[in-house]
A and B are shown apart, each in its own frame.
Chain A
């Protein structure tokens, strides 16, 4: 019996000592990078430093927000997450015009609709401890999907420039000239979510499910949450990609509906 209690305690005990040991894992990655001349040492150190600082700040911030449990502060935190996600998605858009505002609209809508449905259906409650982590999950997946869609769109508008010009020359509207690229870009944006939905539980035990199992929740209950998360992410990435792609293709043309140089 004492062994089980000890094991349970050890299971959830992340302390200074265990974090110090975890740092040694970073050294393994650093040594590999140095030895194989990959040249990622500086990036790795910066990313480790940023991860530590960001997570410490977020940890204390979340503790504060959960304690005061105020609607406006929760909403403000959600907006900060969405704003950051849009700024990050914009980086993938290279020279695409209006990329930040398009990303913001897409992430705000996809997150808002998905969260709204979850709250209205009673799946989650509008309390900061539930809303904020879920907002982060939705917004980050939407951000990744939109980023992939942008990259796909940029590549296709370059590779298929001639075909787009031919369609325009035939008198096609911007939508008719771009729709094949838009569809392919939406597909590219959504494919990681669809692939991970296909292999969930078989290849990976996703973060939320693993977290619940770590915390001692019955795995059967944990999978119910994971199913919810899977559906939620499918909805968010499809909405995000569709909105972003349908808004973004206009940026490849000028006011006279001519294809601009990329």
Chain B
């Protein structure tokens, strides 16, 4: 079943085209890697799909409905975007992990918070720990579970394993696979990682703002 679709998507800044005529159709529960050289417009595509940018022309559809029909807050809770170099806000780890509850006006479920921390190998991480004392890998994992606290339908990942050591990278990739295979979350992941590029799923290749290759195969 088609879940996310773009039709003739164009994006330009000051008359300069960043993306042109992007047509993609993402199946529900699929795993999609987006590859292409730096500056080819991959991150821009994910930001458009995350509704953080508005296309110059063209359309984005979620479950057959234009994203303009959704309230931005509702759409972004369903289609969650993880940044390449995330910023943690507030002062402590807790400030970040409580935020998803705050925006939904729900009481904080501490068991869920602890479970999510354990999924990325941070079971012993105290919520009071200052974000300034965290390593890059810890920050990236906390940012990731901040997005996963309430399961999104689609996860947009912008090179989230860049800069992580091999062990942490394997742990994060394992979690993403689990979310995709067991929880049925659709994944669109930008990556330069050859291992991730070789995984089973669909590969979208973007070069100079154009979709040049959309291949579905079992690599």
Interface of A toward B, CB cutoff 8 Å: 162-163, 165-173, 176, 180, 254, 256-259
Contact = CB atoms under 8 A, between A and B. Distances in A.
B81 A169 contact: yes
Nearest to A258: B52
B102 A176 contact: yes
Contact of B73 (A162, A166, A257): A257
Contacts of B103: 167, 170-173, 176
B201 interface: no
B87 A256 contact: no
B44 interface: no
Contact of A166 (B68, B75, B89, B104): B89
B100 A256 contact: no
A256 B81 CA distance: 16
Given A165-B83, A166-B89, A180-B89, A171 B52 contact: no
A172 B82 CA distance: 14
Interface string B52-74: 11100000000000001000111
B5 interface: no
Interface size, B (range): 20 to 34
B76 A169 contact: yes
A258 B87 contact: no
Contacts of B77: 170-171
Interface of B: 50-54, 68, 72-77, 80-83, 85-87, 89-90, 99-100, 102-104, 143, 146-147
B52 A166 contact: no
B89 A258 contact: no
A170 B52 contact: no
Given A166-B83, A166-B89, A172-B99, 12 more contacts: A162-B87, A165-B83, A166-B86, A168-B72, A169-B52, A170-B76, A170-B77, A171-B76, A171-B100, A172-B73, A256-B54, A258-B52
B4 to A, nearest CB: 16
A170 B50 contact: no
A170 B81 CA distance: 7
B83 A170 contact: no
A254 B102 CA distance: 23
Contacts of A176: 102-103
Contact of A169 (B54, B68, B80, B102): B80
A247 B3 CA distance: 37
Centre residue among B52, B54, B75 by max chain A CB count within 10 A = B52
B72 A170 contact: no
B73 A169 contact: no
Contacts of B51: 256, 258
A180 B90 CA distance: 9
Nearest to A255: B54
Given A173-B103, A176-B102, A254 B143 contact: no
A176 B90 CA distance: 13
Contact of A170 (B68, B75, B100): B100
B87 A166 contact: yes
A173 B74 CA distance: 9
A168 B87 CA distance: 13
A146 B29 CA distance: 50
A173 B104 CA distance: 10
A170 B155 CA distance: 11
B54 A258 contact: yes
Given A170-B100, A176-B102, A176-B103, A163 B87 contact: yes
B89 A168 contact: no
B50 to A, nearest CB: 6
A169 to B, nearest CB: 4
Nearest to A257: B72
Nearest to A172: B103
A183 to B, nearest CB: 12
Contact of A254 (B50, B54, B86): B54
A199 B68 CA distance: 54
Given A162-B83, A256-B72, A167 B52 contact: no
A170 B145 CA distance: 11
23 contacts: A162-B87, A165-B52, A166-B83, A166-B89, A166-B143, A167-B99, A168-B52, A168-B76, A169-B52, A169-B76, A169-B83, A169-B147, A170-B76, A170-B77, A171-B75, A171-B76, A176-B103, A180-B89, A180-B90, A254-B54, A256-B72, A257-B72, A258-B72
